[in-house]
Amino acid sequence: MMAVAAGILMLLAAGAIVWLGMPGLATSMGLQAAETPLQLKDNPIERRELDNGSELFAVSGQVTNPSTDRQRVPDITADLRDSQCRLVFSWKIEPHQRTVAPGGSIEFYSARLDVPPSSKLLELSFAGEGVRSQQQNNCRKS
């Protein structure tokens, strides 16, 4: 009887993780997170040499919610690739707001100083999910 109760509790907890939109945790536990309807749109990258000789690399954009329900906004993963499409740098961007209203959007911004100069292409995705930005993945293998 205790084993059945423990099993039911575990199933309820796993369902709550997926339902509440915790894709990173759900994925790390081996559960398939529900796909989000959220869309990413990135603005042009800003690269600027600073007075001290280092380079500022800034990324910004919008997360839009085309659905009719309020959506949880997961972290955004920024992957930089070189001209041969090899991953050279990656970091997480925490959105300043964790939910977005139906039909609404939020802005995101992140800047780094430690980006390799060989980086040429930016790919944005939601952490733990297969959603990608509209202007990414010019690295198609033939």
Number of structural domains found in the chain: 2
What does pTM read for this prediction? 0.67
1-39 in b/e form (b: 16+ CB < 10 A) is eeeeeeeeeeeeeeeebbeebbbbebeeeeeebeebebb
Mean pLDDT of 83-110: 93
Domain membership flag for residue 142: no
pLDDT greater than 70 at residue 31: no
Same-domain check for residues 104 and 133:
yes
| Cα 120 to Cα 14, 52, 79, 101, distances in angstroms | 39, 22, 10, 34
Are both 98 and 88 inside the same structural domain?
Answer: yes
The single-letter code of the amino acid at 129 is E
Q: Do 65 and 26 share a structural domain?
A: no
Rounded to whole angstroms, the Cα distance separating 18 from 31 reads 8
Whole-number Å distance between alpha carbons of 55 and 15: 45
* 129 assigned to some structural domain: yes
Same domain, 19 and 49: no
Shared-domain flag, residues 29 and 40: no
Residue 30's domain comprises 1-34
Helix (H) or strand (E) holding 100: strand 99-100
Residues 103 and 68 in one domain: yes
Does residue 89 form part of some domain?
yes
Q: Is a pLDDT exceeding 60 seen at residue 136?
A: no
**pLDDT, tens digit (0-9, with 9 covering 90-100), for 40-75:** 988 888 988 888 888 899 999 999 999 999 999 999
